[in-house]
Amino acid sequence: MTVLVADLGIIDYDTAWELQKRLVAMRQRGLIEDVLLLLEHPLVITSGKRTDPSMLRIPPGEMEKRGAVYREVERGGYPTVHAPGQLVGYSIRFVDDLKAHIIGLEETIYKTAISYAKTNVIKYRGLWYWRDGKYYKFGARGVYVSGGAVPVSMHGFDLDVSNELTAYDWIDACGFRKEGTPAERLGKKPDALALEIASKFGGATSLSIITDDEIEMDGVKARAAESYAKVFGVETQTISAKELIRLSSAGSDPPDAL
């Protein structure tokens, strides 16, 4: 099986969101192969379906005054940050096993991360780095799968590469809080690792901080595409952003800002 891989550069959130919806509809009709979109966003805070208002440390209006976009979206999970310097991967993929799909996305960013940070990287509902007695978040995954006879995913994963991290202080990223994570956010029967992370949460970090090195985004994108192919057992075929937009726009107006 082949997956089309498109590098969209830096693209605003709403344009990418609408593009995903179009690609999902096309994939459901069998008009395209699975697609992996690799990109960066200008500063945006997104809240998934499990977000509680208490997880927003400042109101959405204040976020926007500080230069961010705020969006409530259909994916699962809690609030997160996207910003330039963070790799975002959106997986438009036929999904017959949701759990396996989510595990695969997590494994994709894990394989990508450990090609740079060789030790102390931990998978748990995303990626963590263990340093000086604390767990630091630097990768996440969250998905939505369409209903109907042909279930297709959208949204996907993110990996903090070299992005500025201040906006993580505006939210409880993935539900965790430095001052102590409320027990109800960990589920009815949290496992030992969840409890440990909750008690030793240190905030956010990035690959550049972890490695104390400048990391080029193009290289991370290439490794992420390679990891995705290995995890899901597919071949990759590069498609230009222009060609992907042409395909997605058949019979409708194209997204504006691409």
**What are 9's two structure tokens?**
């550069």
Q: Does 166 qualify as catalytic in the annotation?
A: no
pLDDT at 256: 41
Catalytic residue among 44, 105, 174, 220: 174
What is the model's pTM? 0.94
Answer yes or no: are the C-beta atoms of 257 and 245 closer than 8 Å.
Answer: no
Per the CB < 8 A criterion, the answer to whether 109 and 139 are in contact is: yes
User: Cα–Cα distance between 255 and 92 in angstroms, integer?
Assistant: 17
Residue with tokens 């029967």: 189
What pLDDT sits at residue 257? 37
Distances from the Cα of 86 to the Cα of 39, 150, 183, angstroms:
8, 31, 29
Nearest to 256 by CA among 45, 8, 16: 16
> And the tokens for 4?
């089309």
CATH of 2-248 given 3.30.930.10, 3.30.420.40, 3.30.565.10, 3.40.50.2000: 3.30.930.10
- List of the chain residues with pLDDT < 50: 251-258
Give the domain ranges of the chain.
2-248
Q: What is the pLDDT of residue 178?
A: 87
**Sign of the dihedral defined by the CA atoms of residues 49, 52, 58, 62, in that order:** positive
Q: How far apart are CA 95 and CA 28, in angstroms?
A: 11
Nearest to 35 by CA among 2, 57, 66, 62: 2
pLDDT number for residue 249: 82
